[in-house]
Amino acid sequence: MSIVDDLKGQISKNRIIFDKPELKDQLLGEDVTAELQALVHHLSILEKLRISSIIRAEGHHGVGRAFDIGNEEIAKTLLPKVATDPEVMQWKIDEIIFDASKSDSGYDRNKWNYDIGVKHKFDEATLNAHSDHIHFAVKAPAKPKKERALVRALRPQGHASPAVAAASPANAGGLMLLDFRTYPDNHVMPADFTLAGVGFESIGGVGRLMVNDTANDRGLQFDASGLRVVLRRPVNGLLLYAGGFAGAITVTALDSSGAVIHQQVVKPANVLLRILLNAPNMRTLEFTGGGGEGMLVEMVTPD
């Protein structure tokens, strides 16, 4: 039995019901991740679920990784079983957001909440927006359902020369590779650092830069505020391996005067992609969007 068959079984037993018919199609379709389907199935064994939202424009909902449970009265029995570190790890949960004071006025409002797979205290506005439904999001897919073949087809290009990929930063044949896989997972980088003369900084100095494992790979993760990369000198072309995991990222290239000379949206989201940028005299790159989960894995530039 596939997970979709398992879900259909739960739907036929009314363990999962929907506020709108299209939500059923979304849950069983290709626009949600396998991890989301597995979590919904698991939760539906614990409690009867009424799904109130899956795909919509914002954040993790926009990339098929989040769903909302409309019968929030189950929180008091459901969440103590699910909002634990072992369960969060097992079911690849990224976010749980619910105002627990709605279950019991004596509870800490963040009692069951998680973000990026760790216990988290959301701010008041977020809690206020999560008093009538329980929001769940799962981690970025290990194997994106739709784009898996695309990743494989694209991957060999960046590793064409073993000499280039051998070390980091390495140079061979007039190219330089910067590869964030050489850092350990969860390694927090300074908000402003230099690698082989290339400057990396969080735009505005406010966001967090951190090496993180995503989608079976490892890269520099940047917050929604964005990442700025200042090259050693102007170049006319460079190769990136990057992606956004809570929305698409945009790459903007600027010349030495700060004028925008090229801009490109990296689509689809939820997958790492090779991007070849060609524009005269690119000196600075700005990576924006990605909903707080933009990733830069590799960059190959002229040496």
* Residues in contact with Zn ion by the rule CB under 5 A: 66, 68, 135
Q: Minimum Å distance from CB 3 to Zn ion?
A: 21
Residue nearest to Zn ion (CB): 135
Task: Return the beta strands (E) in 163-226 as ranges.
Answer: 170-172, 175-179, 188-189, 192-195, 198-202, 209-214, 217-222
State in angstroms the smallest separation of the CB of 67 from Zn ion. 7
| Nearer CB in complex with Zn ion: 129/188 | 129
Nearer to Zn ion, 19 or 192 (CB): 19
Nearer to Zn ion, 68 or 99 (CB): 68
Assess contact for 189 and 211: CB atoms under 8 A: yes
Least Cβ distance, residue 66 to Zn ion (angstroms)? 5
By beta-carbon proximity to Zn ion, the closer residue of 49 and 282 is 49
The residue among 57 and 118 lying less far from Zn ion, judged by its C-beta, is: 57
HSE-CB for 149 with a 13 A CA cutoff:
1
CA 63, CA 47: separation in Å to the nearest integer? 25
Tokens (6 digits) for 57: 């424009």
29 contacts: CB under 8 Å, gap ≥ 6: none
Q: Report the alpha-carbon distance of residue 150 to residue 162 in Å, rounded.
A: 22
Between CA 203 and CA 115 the distance in angstroms is 22
Q: Whole-number minimum distance, CB 127 to Zn ion, in Å?
A: 13
For residue 57, the minimal CB distance to Zn ion (Å) is: 12
